[in-house]
Structure 1
């Protein structure tokens, strides 16, 4: 099979070419090593970056309060606690820890209508906030959802809320491609995939009912292998998500795929979601080179055969295995006009792009208009990894994981290697 090479890297600085799903135009971005200024980040002119907190633990998703505080969800307990509350108490630009609470770890955290929502890998809780944006009773939250699948693989539960009293919860599929024996060469794909009854999709629950289980919720969308980034777009009144694509095309099917193709595919995908949508996993995956949905080899595909006629198409398809871990639509007024209503995506970084260098470890921006991408996506903030070329994820000093918008319109980015929180601001001066 002819190799299709996505990127060509040099040791310091490299030009990277990507193709969007809905645009055949090549988007070229400059890969940079860390800048000693701006907290080591490479960001556009006019922007500045600083570290406002550090060494928090494995910081996953984050959410800012309107009063200037910040809640951080931890993937592992630190000193027995899974949520950190931060605030700059003395105005020095650094956030001091003022409170830690919650005896569970997880990823999802959000604020809506005076409540803080947070998830473990099985449940979702909510806490009442006071007029300072601080939790009133940290020891006795309401458990609004319980008993969601936690089978270790893709167990984290990301969340988003709409304006109609609903919370949306990702339940990742504990599987690569729904084989009879997961990640095993020669094992067939199960049809229909039984996992989709309880995972591999987005479930909708009510925000004001306690101890809801699967029988209380609605399977809002399916065919989504694992969605770590999701956000409710207020302008469009619609859910948007970013999905982690499958792995191991070459390992499981060397007769169909070479190592380079397997490093590039399948695409990481960005969707607009309507109730009842099906994104096609595990039966198909998206190929940004061919710009179409491809039948998965577990279900009779050969790397070329199209499939998933009823499955939705992505808005944008990114290079494979980069792990889009957070999605945020920018609604502030601080950044230049081009960023208004556009989407920021935090790419956690790949682990399985060998023999090519690992890729991601940055925050990208997708311009939007009328709820759809309006132009080429671009790398907005780079340099988190601390190195120009990442050969192994362990080499990365930081990996972006969470995004939130501060009350002043600044952008906060969390890192789950060292628990660093970055603040990115813009000044027209």
Structure 2
């Protein structure tokens, strides 16, 4: 009788454990074996849902939602597929178009909040990331880095090739660049795949180099695809938003906000989110998941899975209310690997005492027709010298302007 009592207690205890755990709990994560001696099995529901594309009509633009006191208008349109934005102190706006291989200069010469002059000023195959240093514009493609002088009228001199041996692109060809407070150039290099060990140590990293491209090193690794990044204006700390792994379900992997530190490993492809194991890839050699977790730097904050964060910019203008000062704006391009869409918006990332604390919707409404269609997928962000925020869309070819009245 005692044996049956013990068996019942064991069974009851296991039942309680199973009952109290969900698919996202650490109990289920622990079911993934540490080595190849045992099988790994998991079942995940994956979805593809791509909202239809509709025109950016005046009626659609007018129903966009922003906080009280803000207004949205088209700064420019019919631009092809504008991606990353950069603005110099005189108000010259530069937009890259990766598909066309162009950099376009836009000018609002009469200060009415809309560009009245546009001109292609550079032709570079697959150009994407833009960064300014003094009177020079840096431009990066998949494998090449260029620099050109900015003339007084905003046009560019002949681009000079600095690098031509950046890693191959694969799944993530969207290199972005920025200069840090140390006057070093930082280059983001995404992974070649959704989830896999990389043969090239420079993939899934942020690289650091001198302004002339020399002395290139891996600054941080284990970053699947960090496009939006930058140094907080008050603290000088580098923050970046990393894209999560696809095909882990509607709510995994969440997008990550990471404090980027030199020499740190952020876990991809083996560890993700708050320290979860990726069942699709096991650390190579004798390294266990637990050992890899111990050397992984985990995110400070997360956001909805598959929202796809792209360019990030800190607000340092003078026209928005004071509470916005030194917070960040992030363009969320929008999901495709999810049963219901998320993203398709601009969000505000609040900072308190130098730390990111929470996200808040800032510009929404690009999803229409009961979320079955969209008229923009946000990509680039830049703060204009007039204090407004510019946003690019690479589906209908529009740059939007958000201003405080």
Fold shared per TM-score above 0.5: yes
User: 1:420 offset after TM fit, Å?
Assistant: 0.5
- Shift of the alpha carbon at 1:338? 1.7
Residue 316 (structure 1) shift: 1.4
Cα RMSD for the two superposed structures:
2.3
Corresponding residue number in structure 1 for 2:149: 128
Structure 1 counterpart SS, 2:99: strand
1:388: Cα distance to partner?
A: 4.0
Name 1:372's counterpart in structure 2: 355
Conservation of the 8 A alpha-carbon contact between 2:191 and 2:198: no
Offset at residue 196 of structure 1 (A): 5.4
Write the deviation string for residues 302-358 of structure 1: whole angstroms up to 9, x where unpaired: xxx87622211212101111100111111112111221111111100000102xx11
2:252 matched to 1:265?
yes
Counterpart CA distance in 1 for 2:299 and 2:343 is 19
On the 8 A contact 1:149/1:199 being kept in 2, the answer is yes
Distance 1:98 1:360, change over 3 A: closer
1:217–1:93 Cα change, 3 Å: same
Is the alpha carbon distance of 1:343 and 1:388 closer, same or farther for their aligned partners in structure 2, counting shifts above 3 Å? farther
- CA distance in 1 between partners of 2:216 and 2:60 (Å): 48
Kept after mapping to 2: 8 A contact 1:35/1:383: no
Would the alpha carbon gap of residues 271 and 89 (structure 1) be closer, same or farther in structure 2, given more than 3 Å must change? same
Aligned to 2:278: 296
- Residue 72 of structure 1: SS of its match in structure 2? strand
Question: How high is the TM-score relative to the length of structure 2?
Answer: 0.80
Structure 1 counterpart of 2:207: 203
**Change over 3 Å in CA distance of 1:150–1:385 after alignment to 2:** farther
Give the ranges of 4+ consecutive aligned residues of structure 1 lying more than 4 Å apart after TM superposition: 1-4, 34-39
Does 2:347 correspond to 1:404?
Answer: no
Distance 1:331-1:300 versus aligned 2 partners, 3 A rule: same
- Counting only pairs closer than 5 Å after superposition, residues 109-128 of structure 1 correspond to structure 2 as 109-128=130-149
- Give the match's secondary structure for 2:294: coil
Residue in structure 2 matched with residue 311 of structure 1 by the alignment: 296
Q: How far apart are the structure 2 equivalents of 1:176 and 1:389?
A: 26
Shift of 1:127: 1.4
SS at match of 1:308: helix
Question: Whole-Å Cα distance in 2 between the matches of residues 87 and 135 of structure 1?
Answer: 11
Q: Would the aligned equivalents of 1:61 and 1:326 in 2 still touch at CA under 8 Å?
A: yes
Q: TM-score, normalised by structure 1?
A: 0.76
2:327 corresponding residue in structure 1:
342
Query: Offset at 1:39?
Result: 4.2
Larger Rg: 2
What is the deviation of 1:399? 0.5
Q: What aligned pairs does 1:26-425 form with structure 2 within 5 A after superposition? A: 36=59, 39-77=62-100, 82-104=102-124, 105-132=126-153, 134-137=154-157, 140-178=158-196, 193-195=197-199, 197-207=201-211, 209=212, 212=214, 216-249=215-248, 262-286=249-273, 292-299=274-281, 308-354=293-339, 357-374=340-357, 376-390=358-372, 395-425=373-403
Structure 1 residues 113 and 406: CA distance shift in structure 2, 3 A: same
Matched positions, count? 346
User: In 2 relative to 1, CA 245–221 (structure 1 residues): closer, same or farther, beyond 3 Å?
Assistant: same
Q: CA deviation at 1:426?
A: 0.8
